[in-house]
Amino acid sequence: MSLIEIGKKYPSSKNISGFIQLYEKYFSSLRDSKINILEIGIENGDSLRIWREYFSKANICGVDIDKKNFKIDNVDIQHGDQSNNVFLLSLINIYKNFDIIIDDGSHQAKHIISSFNFLFPYLNDNGIYIIEDLQTSYFPRYGGSRINLNKKQSSMNFVKSLADSINYEKNNRPFFKKNKFDGLIKSIHFHQNIAFIYKGQSIKYFYNQDFKETLSDKIKKFLSYFF
Ligand SMILES: C[S@@+](CC[C@H](N)C(=O)[O-])C[C@H]1O[C@@H](n2cnc3c(N)ncnc32)[C@H](O)[C@@H]1O
């Protein structure tokens, strides 16, 4: 059965949002792999049931801030807050690394950003970090803004800033300042209300730890403010 067909059996919002079609595209090559999957935010467990049926060999862990009174065969359900790094570390102590991380939790910008900052280092190379419901980036109650699309701490601007980690260095030497995720993000795929962030080097990572700014670099830097 395809992921879309499996999705029809369970009333997760992933069906009506159109995300399930995207997941089919992004997950199909991983279907039979022995991978670790983490989903933040599980509500009634329907997305976990979908993943369980689709991924035959994966270890699947779902977490939620609300204590759940249901069980799903072969799925690890953990109770905790995505903004609590001690809780997230307890997951890492069990799983070591993940291949897929889906953030479908509080949708609060500060939680999306703090979970990404903590968990991304534990995503395997070629792993995918997915952030759902990015439309919340335009809602003030989720830490976003409808008016100021440049609001620094919104979830969309955080994800957009990660795009600089793909391109920035090569084109900005000698002005390059290393950002936390530079050289670690291979690609970012934006679709309506959802982003898929792939971990890994793109072609070649140009950052050089020993880079020293020369006089000609200083002149270039000065001129760059005008051109
Ligand atoms: C949209 S629902 C998840 C739906 C589910 N992933 C699906 O597709 O069927 C969001 C869930 O995130 C949980 N949640 C909210 N804040 C959270 C937090 N800080 N940490 C972990 N889970 C949180 C809520 O309790 C809720 O169950």
User: Which of 104, 108, 116 for a ligand 1 pocket mutation test, highest count of atoms within 8 Å of Cβ?
Assistant: 104
Q: How far is the CA of 217 from the centre of ligand 1 (A)?
A: 49
What span, in angstroms and rounded, lies between the C-alpha atoms of 158 and 129?
A: 14
The best mutation among 20, 64, 77, 136 to test binding of ligand 1, ranked by most ligand atoms within 8 Å of the C-beta, falls on 64
**pLDDT tens column, 148-177:** 999 989 999 999 989 887 776 555 556 666
Distance 150 CA to ligand 1 centre (A): 26
**Interacting residues of 103 by C-beta distance below 8 A, sequence separation 6+:** 40, 41, 82, 112, 115, 116, 129, 130, 131, 132
Give pLDDT, residue 73: 98
3-224 topology per CATH: Rossmann fold (3.40.50)
For residue 164, what is the DSSP state?
A: H
> Does the pLDDT value for residue 16 go beyond 90?
yes
The pLDDT-based confidence of 227 (bands split at 50, 70, 90) is confident
Locate all alpha helices (DSSP H) within the chain, ordered by sequence.
3-8, 13-16, 19-27, 46-54, 85-95, 109-119, 155-172, 215-224
pLDDT in tens, 56-97: 999 999 999 999 999 999 999 999 999 999 999 999 999 999
Residue 53: pLDDT above 70? yes
CA 74 vs CA 45, 55, 69, 177: distances in Å: 13, 11, 16, 45
What are the tens digits of pLDDT across the range 167-214?
Answer: 765 555 566 666 788 878 999 999 999 999 999 986 665 555 566 778
Cα 224 to ligand 1 centroid, rounded to whole Å: 46
pTM of the model: 0.91
**CA dihedral over 118, 109, 14, 67, signed as positive or negative:** positive
Within 8 A by CB and 6+ apart from 22, the residues are: 191, 194, 196
Residues having CB closer than 6 A to ligand 1 are 12-14, 39-43, 46-47, 63-66, 81-83, 104-106, 111
Tell me which residue has tokens 């969309």: 156
Residue nearest to atom 11 of ligand 1 (CA): 41
User: 86: exposed, middle or buried (C-beta count within 10 Å: 0-12, 13-18, 19+)?
Assistant: exposed
Quick check: is 107 catalytic? yes
